[in-house]
Structure 1
Amino acid sequence: MLKFRKTTLVAAALASAAVAPHAMAETKINALFMAQAAYSEADVRAMTEAFTKANPDVTVNLEFVPYEGLHDKTVLAQGSGGGYDVVLFDVIWPAEYAANNVLVDVSDKITDDMKTGVLPGAWTTVQYEGKYYGMPWILDTKYLFYNKEILEKAGITAPPKTWAELTEQAKIIQQKNLLKTPIAWSWSQAEAAICDYTTLVSAYGGDFLKDGKPVFQTDGGLDALKYMVDSYKSGLTNPNSKEFLEEDVRKVFENGDAAFALNWTYMYNMANDPKDSKVAGKVGVVPAPGVEGKSEVSAVNGSMGLGITTASKHPEEAWKYITFMTSQATQNAYAKLSLPIWSSSYEDSTVTAGQEELVAAAEKGLAAMYARPTTPKYQELSTALQQAIQEALLGQSTPEDALKSAAENSGL
């Protein structure tokens, strides 16, 4: 009897030892984010720490790369065996990612509360052909930022409402020797330039594609590039704009070296931070201007979503992390660099306090967001347009010829 009891206890102990590590094992997921614009790296780490505190059985390995590396890093990791569980993706990528089976279709996980609570425009960030490939997370467009003090010194009583008016105000500022080059843009040969170009295409009422074929080389698309070239050649635009990304624009504006700048939401509170900015307290923000007779405001859809990769070995934990990061409570707590996707958040004083001017601009800007083309060949199209913009700015080609060449090289 004693021998049997000992044997039973030993067996039970071995069984317990075999089960315990499995029961207590942590699930590790890898998440890829960008290291610029919108939520800061510190914000993402703090959000993630709150998630792991609430979910001690899950650890999250965070990786941050510049926006320019986000797409290729995601795609290349798919075939590496390691890969990512959660990735941040731009509004321009769901078509390509769906066609190449990069992201999991999560349509069955989107609840009715999510559908009714999230701003309608935000859903376009993660949808393709009626399916959902993640949750919208960063709701963003480019706004026109202006230096209130410089405009006041120039005798300008209100920021421009049209792009033509912006040019006229910049001329006044230049003529009064307040600034040598009053305007800063992000026109480096990168996606940043396409976002500025798209903002102008929306202002001029242009189209990128019709029936799947390029039409940006005509009408509003051509007018947009002509405006960029005219602004550059006029000497009103900082000549380094052709090499600037958004962070460069922010630094120039914060140093007091630009009266006008087009940039994302995040710049508002960063430029108003006296620790880093010389223009804190002087920052104005309005929707990007329109074109008389064609538009009142202009805006590009620069939103981004969080999705689960098809390579993920932990899709359930990945989805739990995504729903936490995109939840209203999390977004409301970190609303200073990126505005929430939830419609009722804008009735919450913790979101609006201290940034009422930004929220007022967002109400108009977010409603006017214009999408870059939805096509699985977006990367080819964007590359061709980036090159066309550079050639036109540098005078190597006319806007007409540059866009005609881009249309021919777009892969469409």
Structure 2
Amino acid sequence: MTSQIASLFEPLDDLRKAEPIEDFDDIVEGLRQSMTVGGKLVGIPVRHATQGLFYNEELLQEAGISAPPDTLEELVEQAKKLTFTSKSSTPVVGMILASDLAVFPVMFARAFGGDFIDKQFRVVPDPEAMEKGLSVLADLFKAGALPRSYATTRNDDMVTWMQQGRAAFAVLPFARYAQLNNKEQSTAPGKIKAIEFPGSKTLGSGQEMHPVVESWAMAIPANSADKKLSWSYLRFVASKAATLDMARNGNGPVRSSTYAEPSFAGSQPQAKVEAAALAKARPAFPAFPEAARAQSTFLEEVQLAVLGRKNPKEAVAAIVDRVKPLMPA
């Protein structure tokens, strides 16, 4: 939602003042802020996908690991140990990650307190943290704990590999829980679980891991013929009852209260963990006109670092040099 795109939609503050949305502050603040441009609300969040760390409990137990990792360092150690051939004769990689989205390298950089682009539009505000994150990914690839096909791995591949027991860990939205544990598709239904992505043990006091969240919202076109009717629909979709119903059908609920609703939490084993992650989550990078090009440039350098074609320090320097000219003035 850049300023140019926001100009195509109706500002919603006056409509919300005249006919308020039920308990608007219950909608997670970070999601509301992502739809606020120039101080004006232009969209109502209705869905999110917050990234968590999924793991195959059966594979962990087979490798003699009693619990998922508490730190990034433990994750790396476990992923290497879980790069093996399972009892079912299936070759297993410790971790499966897609290479075509900034989500994944950003998560590893944030584990060290870094970022790709922060809210102030600074490119790689902490180069050392990004270098550490890329070094971890390169180390996992070198050890065989990432697939040899990493450079061509896509989002759907991660789901398939986890379902088939070919990977022990994956970074995916919490909402994928039901799909990963589908009895008709998964080799370990009920055994693929999720935790918050762990930060490094080197994270300083007061620092915390900020997982990546993507969100969707509804807006009213500026040239809409009946804005009042449109607003009545948005108010309904944003209500607690509608949010709960959508959540039961697999939507990431945008309201904090939904996670505490017994009828939802009781059927969603990951609800408590997801709620905690969402409270700290933020997008992979802020919206700006050249964002897509910036992501592509970032991923080119990330792949070179992970595959060993560049050392992480060189890759990070290139990211800064190449992405800075794309930043808004």
Flag whether TM exceeds 0.5 (same fold): yes
CA–CA distance in structure 2, aligned partners of residues 247 and 96 of structure 1: 32
Q: Measured at CA, do residues 96 and 365 of structure 1 come closer, stay the same or move farther in structure 2, by a change above 3 Å?
A: farther
Q: Tell me how far apart the structure 1 counterparts of residues 235 and 160 of structure 2 sit (CA, whole Å).
A: 33
Equivalent positions of 1:13-412 (< 5 A) are 93-95=1-3, 97-98=5-6, 101-110=7-16, 111=20, 113-174=22-83, 179-188=91-100, 193-207=101-115, 208-209=117-118, 212-216=121-125, 218-294=127-203, 297-310=209-222, 312-336=224-248, 337-356=250-269, 358-377=270-289, 378-410=291-323, 411-412=326-327
Alpha-carbon shift at residue 325 of structure 1 (Å): 3.0
1:183 deviation in Å?
0.8
- The TM-score with structure 1 as length reference comes to 0.69
Q: Deviations over 1:84-127 (max 9, x none)?
A: xxxxxxxxx344523xx233322223336443232223312312
Match of 1:402, as an amino acid?
A: A
Q: Distance in 2 between matches of 1:387 and 1:114?
A: 43
The offset of 1:354, in angstroms, is 2.1
CA contact (8 A) 2:106 2:284 kept: yes
> In 2, Cα distance between the equivalents of 1:181 and 1:346?
33
The question of whether the paired residues in 2 share the 8 Å contact of 1:118 and 1:342 is answered with: yes
Contact 1:289 1:298 in 2 (8 A): no
Structure (1 or 2) with the larger CA radius of gyration: 1
Give 3-state SS (helix, strand or coil) of 2:55's partner.
strand
State the distance in 2 between where 1:291 and 1:334 align. Answer: 34
Compared CA separation, residues 397 and 382, structure 1 to 2 (3 A):
same
Counterpart-to-counterpart distance in 2, 1:261 and 1:212:
29
Q: SS in structure 2 opposite 1:372?
A: coil
Distance 2:208 2:66 in 1: 19
Query: Where does the alignment leave 5 or more consecutive residues of structure 2 unmatched?
Result: none
1:211 Cα deviation from its structure 2 partner: 5.6
Instruction: Among all aligned residue pairs of Structure 1 and Structure 2, give the percentage whose two residues are the same amino acid.
Output: 24
Per the TM alignment, residue 290 of structure 1 is displaced from its structure 2 partner at its CA by 0.9
TM-score by length of 2: 0.85
Q: In the aligned structure 2, how far is the partner of 1:123 from the partner of 1:222?
A: 32
Shift of the alpha carbon at 1:137?
Answer: 1.2
Q: Which runs of 5+ in 1 are unaligned?
A: 1-92
- Cα distance, 1:298 vs. partner? 4.3
Cα distance, 1:209 vs structure 2 = 4.4
Q: How far apart, CA to CA, are the structure 1 residues paired with 2:33 and 2:119? A: 19
Amino acid at match of 1:327: S
Aligned counterparts of 1:248 and 1:105: Cα–Cα separation in 2: 39
Q: Distance in 2 between matches of 1:397 and 1:96?
A: 36
Question: What is the CA–CA distance in structure 1 between the aligned matches of 2:177 and 2:165, rounded to whole Å?
Answer: 14
2-side partners of 1:212 and 1:181: how far apart?
Answer: 36
Deviates more, 1:118-127 or 1:208-217: 208-217
Residues 244 and 96 (structure 1), Cα distance of their counterparts in 2 relative to 1, 3 Å cut: farther
Taking the aligned partners of 1:296 and 1:158, their CA distance within structure 2 comes to 21
Residues 104 and 308, structure 1, Cα contact 8 Å, conserved in 2: yes
Does the 8 Å CA contact 1:287/1:298 hold for their aligned counterparts? no
Does the 8 A contact of 2:121 with 2:286 survive in 1?
Answer: no
* Cα pair distance change 1:255/1:180, threshold 3 Å: closer
1:339-392 alpha-carbon deviations (Å, 9 max, x no partner) = 322222223122112213x11211321122133332523233222212222222
